[in-house]
Amino acid sequence: MKAEIIDNLSTLIAYNVRGSVQYKHRFDGFVGELDFKEFMTLRKPDNIFLDGGMFVPIKQKTSYLENPVYFTVTSQPIENYRDVYSRFSNVSCKALYILCWNADTSHTWDRKDILNIGKSILVPTFIVYKFKDGDFISSSLDELLAEFRKTYHSYKDEVNSCIKQHFADTLMRFDETHLKELYLQRLVFDGYIGLQYERGKPTDIDQIVLSGKTDDYYLLEVKEKDLCKREPKGFGMDIERIGFFGDLKRQIGMETYYFIKQIKDQRTREFLQWRYITMTDFFKYCLKENVEGGIGMRSENSKNYTWICPENHFKVYP
């Protein structure tokens, strides 16, 4: 089943990005996130790790926290999320949803052509809840989708087959459960919502952790990066993303830890070490100078400015 999950994930991404460059950046990000999950599962068994969710604004040309729908896809009990959703309800969200799936019944998943491209992909039956007035109430996937205005853009796959095969081979080393978690979040966002509904600029939370040491929740942001080439050398983040985490902390009171899977260079992507910093410290010490970032998921003609924080402010994770 692992190979089919990876293939279906590839299909979802290929039909939702501009081309091979954006596909590669998306999967490089997935590799970093999956490595982090497996690393922390071994190193921090006493912490409770929750699946992160996505903020999806309901109107075009709006960003992040402008009247978004927030949703999480998880196989964990919804009670694990009650405190988190209570705090997220302080954000001006149009609605908050949680979509639950049963890890024990994945062998019964259906296959449907939800993109209308002539290819069926794996789809589970989600048990959906809406968080309202401090409680989870029964809902449905249709109700979640009805939060958005229906539109239509044709799907097109322009990704090089060699790049697809490279990442298909790379992802095979990861735990199947972690791959399912990733796939199902993308199924909802790239499959069910995808290009069929109007939406603004989305953003996600990679993970949420309940620390066994402080008994408080923290947001986790994970990126795979090498040191920037200019002096002083360090690691960057998109300016909009920095603002997002600052705004979110002011509204829900949760600190974000920024984890870097440091690699030697962009060509070999050889792993060196894990490093981290709080977003409060990142903002405090970063150079407030606009630096042109990588292409990421944008078009090659658009601008993507980042701020760089010198590497000496990042701790090495033991």
Per-residue pLDDT tens digits for 215-232: 899 999 999 999 998 888
Calculate mean pLDDT across residues 106-129.
96
- Output the pLDDT for position 26: 97
Ramachandran angles phi, psi of 208, nearest 5°? -125, 135
pLDDT band for position 314 (cuts 50, 70, 90): very high
Q: Where are the domains of the chain?
A: 2-47+54-203, 216-316
At 181, which helix (H) or strand (E)? helix 176-186
From CA 69, how far away is CA 298, in angstroms rounded? Answer: 22
Q: How many residues does the chain have?
A: 318
pLDDT band for position 248 (cuts 50, 70, 90): very high
**Residue 265 to residues 194, 225, 256, 293, Cα–Cα distance (Å):** 32, 8, 26, 15
- Output the pLDDT for position 117: 94
- Output the pLDDT for position 298: 47
Residues 285 and 4 sit within 8 Å (Cβ to Cβ)? no
What confidence tens digit (pLDDT) does each residue in 264-299 have? 999 999 999 999 999 999 999 999 999 987 655 445
pLDDT band for position 43 (cuts 50, 70, 90): confident
In this structure, how many other beta carbons lie within 10 angstroms of the beta carbon of residue 303? 8
The larger pLDDT score, comparing residue 215 to residue 144, is at 144
Relative to beta strand 305-310, strand 234-238 is antiparallel
What confidence tens digit (pLDDT) does each residue in 174-210 have? 999 999 999 999 999 999 999 999 999 999 999 999 9
- Output the pLDDT for position 154: 81
3-state secondary structure of 263: strand
Which pair of tokens denotes residue 196? 């069929």
Calculate mean pLDDT across residues 72-76.
98
From CA 6, how far away is CA 89, in angstroms rounded? Answer: 34
- Output the pLDDT for position 297: 44
Share of the chain above pLDDT 70, in %: 97
pTM of the predicted protein model: 0.94
Which pair of tokens denotes residue 285? 């010490």
Which single residue is written with the structure tokens 């075009």?
60
Burial of 147 from C-beta contacts in 10 A (0-12 / 13-18 / 19+): buried
Calculate mean pLDDT across residues 228-247.
94
What confidence tens digit (pLDDT) does each residue in 146-168 have? 999 999 888 899 999 999 999 99
- Output the pLDDT for position 19: 96
Which single residue is written with the structure tokens 């792993």?
271
The larger pLDDT score, comparing residue 170 to residue 214, is at 170
**pLDDT of 302 above 80:** no
**Residue 19 to residues 88, 119, 297, Cα–Cα distance (Å):** 34, 19, 9
DSSP letter for 114, please.
T
Q: Which residues contact 271 (CB under 8 A, 6 or more apart)?
A: 35, 261, 262, 263, 264
Average pLDDT, the chain: 94
